[in-house]
Structure 1
Amino acid sequence: MAAVGAALALVLSGCGGSGGSSGDGGDCDTGRGTLVVGLVAPLSGELSSVGLGMKNSADLAVTQANARCAVPGYHLAVQSQDDRADPATGAAAASTLAKDPSLIGVLGPFNSSVAQAVQPVLSDAGIVQISPGSTSTSLTRGANAVTAPLRQYQTFFRTVATDGVQGPAAASYLTRTENKRRVAVVSDGKTYGEGIADEFAKQLATEGGQVVARVTAAPGTGRDAVVSRVAAARPDAVFYGGEYPEGGPLSAALASAGLSVPVVGGDGIVNPGYVTAGGREGDLGTSVGPPPETLPAARGFVDAYRQAGYPDSIGSYGASTFDATNVLVDSTVRALGEDGDWSPARRPDVVRSVQGFHGDGITGPLSFDRFGDVSTDAVTVYRVQGGRWTVVGPAD
């Protein structure tokens, strides 16, 4: 099925006003009522800078959809739930959203461990879920992603590349470009951290590198023992599988112990908070997709976001959330067909419509394979320079 071109090839001018409005539809006919776009994300706590950028980007997409009367007869509204980066809280949030008969689908979450808890809740209700940030390969391919891939949840999709792309890209860049082959691998024990660390380690071996130490340390545990084990291995670099609130302090602790090698991580550490928490000059990170500011198609989005007056930054996943929202809206329009009447019985049609989606988003072409993974696989390398993350270039 071809996407309705106006849904993603958006006219992004004239989107001023304050954030959080979800639009009023202007002269649109909204006599059929309101349809709800759900969002589950970390809106409080250490990862709130990510979640708030996702929330605002979804709001901007819905505001623009209402302005162009995207769903004939209906007004769209975003209902956001705070998962606090906690799986149980995320599952409860999804359950709350699922009880609303006007819910057309759910965006998020960000954390892969939360996504694991949300997936069965929405699947049981037949509600489509599009994550703009959960990158663990196991979410779509199961535990045996290579030998016996299994898609357990037909309702789950994502608009970001998986750790099966990102982890190997980081290993290849580190060995080929940075010439660092003796790497200590530290991970946080969570779904995302373990998954990307494993993918990195596998590719490192393929590149002729060596994991000289492998340490798992849950957030909040003692850091001294981790630093001692890593320092004793005398690595050229340290790969951290986890998120920036723990990654930054780890980098600082390694430096304090006299180990001045770079810390490398995935998209979980590419956040301004990493540097604030102790990340050092020269540390490296990878993130899925190109920076929105570098994409011609995304410039209008960036400008419109700023003009809307949101108090929070776009963040690493604003662009992919904007795309995910438009995929959901466009797929709902096509699922409703000519009669245009919504009811929960339409939800399986929305799932099928997302699966058949083909269109151009601000992050690039969008379509989904049989596992629900997005077809694009771009990875960008970043380095801490001058106290902030700066773009090095594509990983390949």
Structure 2
Amino acid sequence: MTISRKLFIAAVVAGMGSAAMAQEQVIKIGHIGPVSGPQAHFGKDNENGVRMAIEDLNAKGMEIGGKKVKFQLVAEDDAADPKQGTAASQKLCDDKVAGAATFLNSGVAIPSSKVFHDCGIPMITGAATNPELTKPGWNTTYRVIANDNALGAALADYVAKVAKLKTVAVVDDRTAYGQGLASVFKKEAEKQGVKVVASEFTNDKATDFMAILTSIKAKKPDAIFYGGMYGQAGPMLRQMAQLGMNEAKLLGGDGICVPELAKVAAGAKPLENVVCADGGASLGKMPGGSEWKKRYDAKFPGQFQVYSPYFYDATMLLADAMKRANSWDPKVYIPFLQKADYAGVTSRIQFEANGEMKNPSYTLSQFINGTKTPMDLK
């Protein structure tokens, strides 16, 4: 074979390769979360869930609309700040993501949901739990975890019916998440005859709770409910110990219900009395939880917190809707997302008309020897 013929064949093969590359359609999936700052443990874990789903989707070699597709993660940091979050949301719109599995914080998710609505891109959260998020009923907003109405009511039920406590104090961090959850808990607890002896508030950057706790201690509540995150609950537990409040329970939602709480509490005795609520089943009771967790730990050793399996499912839901619609165009696949019936790692996922999950579950947990452990209350 002549050199010129060899060059010709090589050129043809290269051209075929280029044509094949040109046929591959890149579909961008967005994630926004606090990957810097005190809540970065959560944000990185959530982003890992999206990243793992995208790797699994690409390994399958999906085709949509007659084209081989490659999913690509577009990740932004919101630092748990609403302004930064809305700016990041607009950036994802400008980047023309096809959908987003996104948001840890309700205070970021609520204003950002309007940005996504206005640009017609669906967002699914696996962590933001304030019920206000879905109140507008937009077809671009979805949640794959129980909201604060379910979590607050579950904790109130525990206080009144299981622990049979008579009095509680309520503290919140004034965020959309913390204040919303505390409000639901307070309302449901009072409905069941539990007396709220104090209502206090702090902020989501605070570390000194001595004045609040001293005031609460004088009223001798059986428990303190804290609406906020583990970064504040940890110091609060240490200061409860300093004040000799070792018998009072500390109750809270998913924001404190993380393994990291034990580290931040630094061995404080009141950690033994924490009871917290997560949206969803415990990993061992999720349809695919245990096997998924093994794969996650192999990819991201020591990074698991709480929500990554929900963000994994959120990403898979977007891809599933695109596949069924045979399109990655949001206008085309959103109706298919609304009618989802997806067997996920976390649960079987279907949506109500407003984007809330049908039949969401929850788990109450405690800390035994410093390890977060699901409670069996059946």
Please indicate the TM-score interval, normalised by the length of the shorter structure.
Answer: 0.7 to 0.9
**Mapping of 1:242-257 within 5 angstroms?**
242-257=228-243
Residue 43, structure 1, aligned to residue 35, structure 2: yes
Over the matched positions of the two proteins, sequence identity in percent amounts to 28
- Distance in structure 1 (CA, Å) of the matches to 2:361 and 2:190: 22
Task: Pick one of 45, 58, 64 that aligns with 1:66.
Answer: 58
- Distance in structure 2 (CA, Å) of the matches to 1:357 and 1:389: 32
Deviation at 1:125, TM superposition (A): 0.2
Larger RCO, structure (CA 8 Å, separation 6 or more): 1
Task: Pick one of 269, 277, 299 that aligns with 2:256.
Answer: 269
Secondary structure of 1:77's partner? strand
Given that residues 170 and 200 in structure 1 are in contact (C-alpha distance below 8 angstroms), is that contact kept between their aligned partners in structure 2?
Answer: yes
Match for residue 364 of structure 1? Answer: 347
Secondary structure of 2:200's partner? strand
Q: Output one character per residue of 1:149-194: Cα deviation in whole Å (capped at 9) or x when no partner.
A: xx25331101001001010101101221112120000000000101
**1:304 corresponds to which letter in structure 2?**
R
**Mapping of 1:190-269 within 5 angstroms?**
190-221=175-206, 222-260=208-246, 261-269=248-256
Given that residues 287 and 346 in structure 2 are in contact (C-alpha distance below 8 angstroms), is that contact kept between their aligned partners in structure 1?
Answer: no
**1:246 corresponds to which letter in structure 2?**
Q
**Mapping of 1:1-396 within 5 angstroms?**
31-72=23-64, 73-101=68-96, 103-141=97-135, 151-221=136-206, 222-260=208-246, 261-278=248-265, 280-307=271-298, 309-335=299-325, 337=326, 340=327, 342=328, 346-393=329-376
Q: Output one character per residue of 1:188-220: Cα deviation in whole Å (capped at 9) or x when no partner.
A: 000010111011111111221111101111134
Larger radius of gyration: 2
Deviation at 1:44, TM superposition (A): 1.6
Runs of 4+ in 1 over 4 A off after TM superposition: none
Q: 1:352 to 1:30 in 2, by over 3 A?
A: farther
TM-score by length of 1: 0.84
**2:309 corresponds to which letter in structure 1?**
A
Given that residues 262 and 284 in structure 1 are in contact (C-alpha distance below 8 angstroms), is that contact kept between their aligned partners in structure 2?
Answer: yes
Given that residues 204 and 232 in structure 2 are in contact (C-alpha distance below 8 angstroms), is that contact kept between their aligned partners in structure 1?
Answer: yes
Q: Which runs of 5+ in 2 are unaligned?
A: 1-19
The structure with more helix, counted as a fraction of residues: 2
Q: Which runs of 5+ in 1 are unaligned?
A: 1-27, 142-150
Given that residues 287 and 347 in structure 2 are in contact (C-alpha distance below 8 angstroms), is that contact kept between their aligned partners in structure 1?
Answer: no
Please, what is the CA RMSD of the aligned residues?
A: 1.8
Deviation at 1:277, TM superposition (A): 1.9
Given that residues 50 and 315 in structure 1 are in contact (C-alpha distance below 8 angstroms), is that contact kept between their aligned partners in structure 2?
Answer: yes
Secondary structure of 1:281's partner? helix
